[in-house]
Structure 1
Amino acid sequence: MKRHKRMRVPVRLLGMSAAALSVAAATFTYTSTAGAAGVTEAAYRSPVSSSGTTKSVRYDLGDTAWHLPQTGEPAELTGVVHYPADLGTGRHPLILMMHGLHETCADRKADAARTAALRKGDDAAYEAAGAKLFAWPCAPGTPALPNERGYDYLARTLAGQGFVVVSIGGNGINASSVTGDDNAATRADLINRHLRLWQELSSEDKGELAGKFTDPETGAARRVSFAHHVDMGDVGIMGHSRAGAGVTWQAADSHRKQWPTGVDVKAVAALAPAYNVMTEDMSNYTITKTPFATFRGTCDGQVGGEALSFAADAAKEAGSGFYRFAIHGANHNSFNTQWSPESHQVAAADDATPVKGHPGQCTDREGAAPTRQLTEPQQRHVATTYLNAFFRRYLLGDTGQEPVLTGARHPDAAITEVDVTAVP
């Protein structure tokens, strides 16, 4: 019976890259030492300071404003923007983020019906309910699930550091028929479409985004002039889950010519990436010219450890820096607040595998070594620490972040262990 959720992908048959990394002369691997298991949320402060106040706006050009190049299926052009409240007179690096595969419509009745059908083993009812949850556009009266808002916590911190941060919606892709490499390619196409919008806006204050910003909460029109305040030659991209494969595809050496004119991607981060590990052409993912970082939690119940080895294969000839971070006790969904149980959102779930007889412990699969599971705030805190360090290093030239990126310093050691493999 088909399940409308992210599934663990099989180990790629093309070979693993751990050996390649272990023999690299410039490779350093460190493991942090966690503090007391009972550390509370109030017991630590973020090493990442927000240097200024931030604001946010939203743009929405419509649920069918874009069509997938491969199939013609409709998709939205929407994004939420976090930026420094005072844009000043200079230009700010742009960071574009994209969510991965998740339900698209916040239909609580369909969610309840799907759960009931699963208990009864009713395949037809399960499929019918799933079709409503993965529709696009959503049925009249049913709100779209705001998956792009799941990284607001990260975007606010980055905006406080001086970045303009855009988290884009990909619900149309999630509801589409594209799979495998085509899914990654489609996400890359959508990323480039948004970058083109921002290039037009930032250079001349013209184009489709001009005059289209609204308040994210009230919907009231907001006038913000980003013209000459966004540096499209200093761009970072981050993708979570299936979008982790999408950003790797977008930044691959073989696809750089598809970047909009005037856009230069200086850093790419894949967060718990769900790659097509059975791909027949690794050149579609190979990154050697752009600094590349990949992250995975040791309790990720959706994406296996092959995600890290796949990324290492993609970057094995990199000359611009490659980093792998294994966050102990982190699952897959809690990186996105909309997917996490504490949000009480439709289809939110904890994907970690619990350990029988050991409350608070988790693994990524049955029989694996357990570890203390992070709370949702703790997991996001650690992700923010390392993503901020990565983007500051490569978009702002802040070499003071090197000790964090190489594992020489572990600012979140009191929270959990982070295994760091760095090829500077």
Structure 2
Amino acid sequence: MKFFRAAVAALVLALVTIAAPQAAATQGVGVVEYNLGDQAFRDPTVSVPMELAAVVHYPRDLGRRPHPLIVQEHGSWWSCVDPVAKTPQGDWPCPPGQRPLPSFRGYDYLGEKLAERGFIVVSISANAINAHLLGEEGYYSRAHLVNKHLELWRDLARGEGPLVGALGRFRGHVDLTRVGTMGHSRGGKGVMWQASDKHTPEWPAGVRIRAVVPLAPVYFNYPEENTSDVLVTRVPFKVVVASCDGAVGVVGLQYVKDVKGKNPDAGAVTLTGANHNFFNTEWSPGKIGGEDDAPANCVGKLTPAQQRGDAVREIVSFFASRLRV
């Protein structure tokens, strides 16, 4: 039994990898990845197991104070890549000869800027969901995946759990009572589901969500008139939509309309000339499967750098004001 436990511990540590130094945009930002396995999370409410993998951007100088935590969740995209054929694929786990498509790394530019501001930022992978889960199961599984990572970080902050061996530097430096979430596309509905009044009891003990950003989010309700799963009246949120979004348009503005008169800190901004995919560098032209989704008649179209700069400005300022950094 002792040998078995030691072997498991060694495996967990082996799966926690340090990112290359050049991954950080500035000397003041550190980057680390963790991966506990492609099927490590077995949620009893979900039909398939999910991976527990993420990239973390953080201030290298953590000082003596706890830092607010932000969890980022990507949306629906390809899950694997065939590097020889240079084609995206939709399996999970990825079969031999293919590699995971790292959608969770598509927000590194945002994670770096947030970390410069003093946040610890965890961008999580949701490839199993993209490969296998659709409809309502695809949304509540995203919410449950966020909660599972928050549970891991709650335990890590206490000096417990599978991340503590390799990520022990964060013990005592994470404030789980000041947590923000950002979700892009279907991940946008995922974080609204997780933050909703109805699902607040599912948050891990000791965790408090204080700010939410749905970025170019989808908006579907089943049945159509039932908004309870994504109705957020107790947590500040800011919807960011794009005027040239060829995938979902600006339907996410409805999240604000749904809580009119119920949530005084619910707002929205439209980024003129922005599209859907440029928010994620892995979904953009130049990457396998990447594309520009803006309609041909898009007015004032932004470059990828301009669009990401606008997103950084809106998202960083919102989290900074609501999470007090």
TM-score by length of 2: 0.88
Whether 1:240 and 2:184 are equivalent positions in the alignment is yes
Shift in Å, 1:304? 2.3
State the match for 1:209 in structure 2. Answer: 163
**Counterpart check, 1:107 vs 2:63:** no
Q: What corresponds to 1:385 in structure 2?
A: 313
Say if 2:234 and 2:263, in contact at 8 Å, map to a contact too: yes
**Which of 275, 289, 292 is the aligned partner of 1:350?**
292
Whether the aligned pair in 1 keeps the contact of 2:232 and 2:263 (CA below 8 Å) is no
Judged with a 3 Å threshold, the aligned counterparts in structure 2 of structure 1 residues 142 and 155 are, in CA distance, closer, same or farther, namely same
Q: 2:269 aligns with which of 318, 325, 332?
A: 325
Spell out, residue by residue over 1:187-220, the C-alpha distance to the aligned partner (whole angstroms, 9 max, x if none).
00000000000000012x220111245xxxxxxx
1:91 alignment partner, one of 52, 59, 66: 66
AA matched with 1:140: P
Over the aligned positions, Cα root-mean-square deviation in angstroms equals 1.8
Counterpart secondary structure, 2:81: coil
Question: Counterparts of 1:268 and 1:63 in 2: how far apart (Å)?
Answer: 27
Q: Distance in 2 between matches of 1:318 and 1:161?
A: 31
Q: Which residue of 1 aligns with 2:301?
A: 373
Q: Does 1:164 align with 2:92?
A: no
Give the equivalent residue in structure 1 for 2:243.
298
Q: Does 2:229 correspond to 1:275?
A: no
Aligned partner of 1:200 among 142, 152, 155: 155
Give the distance between the partners of 2:207 and 2:248, measured in 1 at CA: 31
Shift in CA distance, 305/278, structure 1 to aligned 2, threshold 3 Å? farther
Offset at residue 111 of structure 1 (A) = 5.8
Q: Distance in 1 between matches of 2:301 and 2:83?
A: 28
User: What code does the residue aligned with 1:75 have?
Assistant: M
- Identify which of 41, 45, 48 aligns with 1:66: 41
State the distance in 2 between where 1:278 and 1:142 align.
Answer: 35
| Structure 1 residue 225 displacement after superposition | 1.1
The answer for the alignment partner of 1:285 in structure 2 is 230
State how far apart, in whole Å, the 2-side matches of 1:110 and 1:249 are.
37
2:151 is aligned with what amino acid?
R
User: Would the aligned equivalents of 1:91 and 1:228 in 2 still touch at CA under 8 Å?
Assistant: yes
Structure-2 change in CA distance of 1:87 and 1:273 (3 Å):
same
Number of equivalenced pairs: 300
Per-residue displacement from partner, 1:340-390 (whole Å, max 9, x unpaired)? 11xx221100011113xxxxxx1xxxxxxxx11100000000000000110
Structure 2 alignment gaps of length 5 or more? 1-24
Mapped to 1, the partners of 2:45 and 2:288 lie a distance apart of 29
Distance 2:310 2:79 in 1: 27
1:111, 1:133 within 8 Å by CA — same for their partners in 2? no
Residue number in structure 1 paired with 2:6: none
Higher relative contact order (CA 8 A, sep 6+): 1
Alignment match of 2:54 (pick from 71, 79, 92): 79
Q: Distance in 2 between matches of 1:326 and 1:291?
A: 18
Mark the CA change 1:233 to 1:303 in structure 2 (over 3 Å): closer, same or farther.
Answer: same
Is 1:146 the counterpart of 2:102? The answer is: yes
Equivalent in the alignment of 1:137: 93
Whole-Å separation in 1 of the counterparts to 2:145 and 2:261: 27
Q: Percent of counterpart pairs with the same letter? A: 43
Q: 2:169 is paired with a residue of what secondary structure? A: coil
Shift in CA distance, 200/320, structure 1 to aligned 2, threshold 3 Å: farther
Alpha-carbon distance, 1:52 to partner:
7.7
Do residues 250 (structure 1) and 194 (structure 2) align? yes
In structure 1, the gaps of 5 or more residues are 1-49, 113-131, 214-223, 356-361, 363-370, 398-424
- Corresponding position of 1:217: none
| Conserved? CA contact 1:56–1:81, under 8 Å | yes
Checking the alignment, whether the CA contact within 8 Å between 1:288 and 1:317 is kept in structure 2 is: no
Is 1:100–1:244's contact at 8 Å kept on the other side of the alignment? Answer: yes
Letter in 2 for 1:233: T
Match of 2:131 among 159, 169, 175: 175
Report the alpha carbon displacement of residue 51 of structure 1 after superposing the two structures with TM: 10
How far apart, CA to CA, are the structure 1 residues paired with 2:208 and 2:26? Answer: 25
